[in-house]
Amino acid sequence: MVMSNKTQRCPLCGAKGAVHEARRTEYTYKEEKFYINQPALWCDRCDDAVITPADNKASLKDMATARAVIDKVLTPDEVRKARKKLGWTQEQAGEYFGGGPSAFGKYERGEIQIPKTVSVLLYTLSTNKALLDSIEKSLNSIIKEHDVFLDEHGEYFINTKKAG
């Protein structure tokens, strides 16, 4: 995002002198205050600002980071670091934890917050290789059991009540 020190007319009060820049701005989330450098068209005369969609996008990750800290889950950067420590792509992490192939990209960009259970498990696995190995061994056992079932029964079936 390009910031401009060039003054503009304020679209709210009409005064000349509004400037597009980032300013330290207070927000409240779950009764907790935090501050980010919010880009916007700031007007000192009416003491207000116009935040465009581009300004929102520029501050999205900072907002997500603050909310994650308050909610006690991994921040977008911590999600990326833990995933990379496991050696997984975003798509692989989405398949492993659920949420689909684009979930981890959204977590890492701050578009959506990682669920607390996924956050805790991702962190735990990224810091405990033995646990990850144990879970992967269990998953492989389940896959083998399913293969045996399919060999014995030929196909999946669901036993439902017959209509009538």
Domain count, the chain: 2
Assess whether 84 and 130 both reside in one domain.
yes
Assess whether 112 and 162 both reside in one domain.
yes
CA neighbor of 77 nearest in space, from 18, 29, 25, 123: 123
Residue 37 sits in which domain range? Answer: 1-71
Helix (H, G, I), strand (E, B) or coil at 116: helix
Please list the pLDDT of the chain residue by residue as tens digits (164 residues): 556 668 999 999 999 999 999 999 999 999 999 999 999 999 999 999 999 999 999 999 999 999 999 999 999 999 999 999 999 999 999 999 999 989 999 999 999 999 999 999 999 999 999 999 998 899 889 989 888 887 887 666 555 445 44
Round to whole Å and give the CA distance between 93 and 107.
Answer: 11
Assess whether 52 and 83 both reside in one domain.
no
